Amino acid sequence: MDTIKLKPIGYVKSPFKSLEEIPPQSIYAKDEKATIELKEDLVDGLKDLDKNSHIIILFYFNKSKDFNLITKTPWSDEKKGVFSTRSPKRPNAVGLSIVKLIEIDNNKIIIEGVDMLDGTPVLDIKPYSDKLNP
């Protein structure tokens, strides 16, 4: 298999210090705030991001060490393929969350609706638009 190398662009500072504390989905953490600390040399890339009410965060499930192709979700006993779930235990352990953008202060991005562990590596940030996304 080919290898792709990615470098974190920053890290999440969240109230969730252990896996047991994290809600199963961000919908259950609507009021939870966190900060993404972007690497200083990338700050210019934040220009105009504050014009968006919500942003998409792509991150790495760095605490997920294994995966099963067939798994169960917290809401059902039915077994499903991992690609039909939002399980953090995935072949590439990449996560996606849509969060509310509260404020940007230099390299700190304050967000709300967080379901990420403290110290989670951030891979990318994109604007969310209900006009461009279904």
* Per-residue pLDDT tens digits for 60-79: 999 888 888 998 877 788 99
Distance of alpha carbon 42 from alpha carbon 46, whole angstroms: 8
Task: Name which CATH class applies to 10-61+90-127.
Answer: mainly beta
Strands (E), 14-91: 33-38, 54-60, 70-73, 76-81
pLDDT over threshold 90, residue 49: yes
Contacts of 95 (CB under 8 A, 6+ apart): 58, 59, 60, 61, 88, 116, 120
Q: What are the boundaries of each domain within the chain?
A: 10-61+90-127
pLDDT digits (tens, 9 = 90+) for 77-103: 899 988 988 888 888 899 999 999 999
Q: Per the structure block, which two tokens stand in for 27?
A: 């919908």
Q: Mean pLDDT over residues 101-114, rounded?
A: 97
**Are the beta carbons of 86 and 18 closer than 8 angstroms?**
no
CA distance linking residue 59 with residue 94, whole number of Å: 6
